[in-house]
Structures are given as C-alpha cells and as structure tokens.
Chains A and B, each alone.
Chain A
C-alpha cells in the first residue's frame, strides 16, 4: 500500500490529519490544474478547497483499483470545475474584457498577472480559457501536467482513444486561436522567436 492509499485509508477511519498530508502532497498540482481551468485565482482555490471538503466527507468513494489518488482528486476537482462553469452560465458577465484579460487591468491578485508574467503567456492563457471546457481540461492534463493518457482517461472517465482525439482537436483549436492572435505563424515563420520566446 503506497502513501496515498494509506492516507485514504486513514481518512476513511476519520483521521483528519490524513487530509493535510494529501493536501501537502497534491494540493499544488491540483491548484495548477484548477488555475488552468478557471478564470480567477479565487475560483481556482475555491475549487481545490471544495475538492478536499468532498474528500473529507466521502473518502470511501475512492477505489484504488480504478486509479491513483491523484487521479481521483483530479476527477473530483474536474466535476467541481464543471459545476462551477454551469452555475456561472446563469449569470451575465458585464465586463468580459476584464474577465478574460486580467493581465491588463493591473490587479495584483489577478491570475494572469501572477501566472503569466509576460504578454505571450498571458495571451496563451486567454486563448486557452476561450477553449471549450472538455478541450481545456485535456490540454491542462496532457500538455501542462504531462500526465499519461491512461491516467487522463481515468480522470475524464473516457477511453484513451477519446483522450487522443480530444487532445488533437484541442491543440488544433488552440493553434488556430493563437494564429489569429499572430502568436503562431501557420506558414512556418518563426513569429514567436522574435518575440523573445525560444
């Protein structure tokens, strides 16, 4: 039994300290995934917090035979993020510019300001946030977290082939979007290099 499974077993018996161990072990990675998915840093942290609250309340739903603890936590977080965006659809965003490009408004706590330290990364983040949720999450898990396809398939609860096709589609959409922002030259010109990223 590895450490994660041991923590889950302790948590199932009511040992709350096991939750702290799991948070210290996976909290940062979960926050990366959540930050890649959510527009605001506060929402990303809320999602991570909700994930651990859910873990605290229902630790027995974890089945070691179905995957790793991290994959399980990613799956819980993914559901929280999905629900968050479903709830957000009920509200009208009055100022979409400040929502999608927080790097331009000079806010210290804005996610793009903290994560994307230059214009290119901020633009990449904006383009990624414009992707549909299912494409955004596959980019976040496969390309940013660099998780294996099988793990991602377990998190997304779909076959590996679906992960591959979805990732291919997501990359294509992101490439087109970045090309429209002139961050990628589809003709082969190294447009990024002369902007300082190489």
Chain B
C-alpha cells in the first residue's frame, strides 16, 4: 500500500474521489464479446501479431557468410576502380610531363608559303597587285606562310627586282613546306 503523507490533502481527497468513480468502470459488452471471441477462437485467434520466429544457427551462419561475401566483393570492386583510376592518373601525368616534347618547334610543319606581289599605294600602304600588270612603282614580294592551324605570318618583304635577280618566282606561287 502506498502512503499519501507527502501529498497535498486536497489532492488526496480529489484522488480518492476520482478512484471511487473510476472503480465503477466496468467493461463494456463489446469488450466482453471480443474477449469471448478470443477465447472461442483459441490460441491462434486474435489480431495477427508480428511473430519473431526463432532463427537457427545455420541461418545466422549463412547471413554472416553472405555479408562477408558482399563485403569482399565490394572491397574487390573498390580496389579495381582505385587501380584503374591510378593507372589513368599515371598516364595523364606522363602525358602532361611529356608535353611539349623537347623537339617540338613553335611552327607547325604543314604550311604553304605564298609570294604576293605588292606595291605602295598613294596612301603609303603596301597593297597586293596583279602580277601581270605593269608596275608603276617599286614592286615587292611578300612571302606569306599560311599554316594548317589557320595562322599565317609574313616571312619577309623583298623588292621584286632583287628577288627576280635571285631567281624568285613571279606571281603567287605556293610552296609546300
């Protein structure tokens, strides 16, 4: 039996009153009927409950083996992936260190050179002219090299007379280098 000496006297009164009212609570006919059905149905009746079946040692051994196998496969795949990644990284670093190679020049090997005749215009700029036309002022040859990467450069500008004396080509003459 519990003691009520440490509770408030009015609380004790209220508790007793509530306990008296609660004591008059009786099971409803519905609950009685449900229990009766439960009894009539036997041990296998009632609301299906989640029943935990006892597991055998073989089950746990198989589960542990399967788990170990799964972990092993995971580790193997991880190692393979890591190895492939390392190889790729090595190849990439080798390519990076080997680029550019020591014998690489800044100029591409596949290019075309042109000799373009040009004369000075009235504005003082050098403009291309028809090689067959009769030149009125000093004619120059502009050696232009167009590379296969789309760039071009002017190699040299020489007077036509000097180039002619050296045996240079007359007109636009591509030369594959």
In the bound complex, CA of A185 to CA of B31 (Å): 40
Closest to B26 in A: A28
Q: How far is the CB of A170 from chain B (nearest CB, A)?
A: 10
In the bound complex, CA of A21 to CA of B166 (Å): 131
Tell me which residues across on chain B come within 8 A of A35, comparing CB atoms: 22, 25
| Among B22, B28, B41, B47: residue with most chain A CB under 10 A | B22
In the bound complex, CA of A144 to CA of B25 (Å): 13
Tell me which residues across on chain B come within 8 A of A128, comparing CB atoms: 18
In the bound complex, CA of A43 to CA of B101 (Å): 85
Q: How far is the CB of A189 from chain B (nearest CB, A)?
A: 9
User: Which residue of B11, B13, B22, B51 is within 8 Å of A198 (Cβ)?
Assistant: B13
Tell me which residues across on chain A come within 8 A of B68, comparing CB atoms: none
Q: How far is the CB of A53 from chain B (nearest CB, A)?
A: 4
Question: B1-9, B76-84, B105-113, B125-133: which one contacts chain A?
Answer: B1-9
User: Which residue of B2, B27, B39 is within 8 Å of A31 (Cβ)?
Assistant: B27
Binary per-residue interface labels of chain B (1-43) against chain A in the complex, 1 for a CB within 8 Å, 0 otherwise: 1101011101101110111011111111011001110111111
Binary per-residue interface labels of chain A (179-197) against chain B in the complex, 1 for a CB within 8 Å, 0 otherwise: 0000111100011100001
A-B contact number at CB 8 A = 130
**Docked complex: B91-147 residues within 8 A CB-CB of A:** none
Closest to B8 in A: A175
**B74 contacts A by Cβ under 8 Å:** no
User: Which residue of B18, B24, B39 is within 8 Å of A20 (Cβ)?
Assistant: B39
Interface size class of B (residues with CB under 8 A): 35 or more
Q: Are B43 and A23 in contact (CB under 8 A)?
A: no
In the bound complex, CA of A53 to CA of B10 (Å): 39
Tell me which residues across on chain B come within 8 A of A198, comparing CB atoms: 13
Known contacts being A27-B27, A45-B28, A49-B35, is A171 close to B11, with CB within 8 Å?
A: yes
Q: Are B47 and A53 in contact (CB under 8 A)?
A: yes
User: Which residue of A36, A57, A142, A192 is within 8 Å of B43 (Cβ)?
Assistant: A57
Tell me which residues across on chain A come within 8 A of B42, comparing CB atoms: 14, 16
Q: Are A115 and B25 in contact (CB under 8 A)?
A: yes
In the bound complex, CA of A143 to CA of B2 (Å): 7
**A124 contacts B by Cβ under 8 Å:** yes
User: Which residue of B4, B10, B25, B30 is within 8 Å of A143 (Cβ)?
Assistant: B4
Question: A1-9, A66-74, A146-154: which one contacts chain B?
Answer: A146-154
**A50 contacts B by Cβ under 8 Å:** yes
Known contacts being A54-B49, A121-B21, A192-B14, is A171 close to B31, with CB within 8 Å?
A: no
Q: Are B46 and A53 in contact (CB under 8 A)?
A: yes
Binary per-residue interface labels of chain A (37-49) against chain B in the complex, 1 for a CB within 8 Å, 0 otherwise: 0000100010011
6 cross-chain CB contacts under 8 A: A54-B49, A115-B22, A115-B24, A115-B25, A175-B8, A192-B13
**Which residues of B pack against A, CB within 8 Å?**
1-2, 4, 6-8, 10-11, 13-15, 17-19, 21-28, 30-31, 34-36, 38-43, 45-47, 49, 51
Given contacts A31-B31, A115-B24, A125-B18, 10 further A-B contacts (CB under 8 A): A28-B25, A28-B27, A45-B28, A50-B47, A57-B49, A124-B14, A128-B18, A148-B2, A178-B11, A184-B10
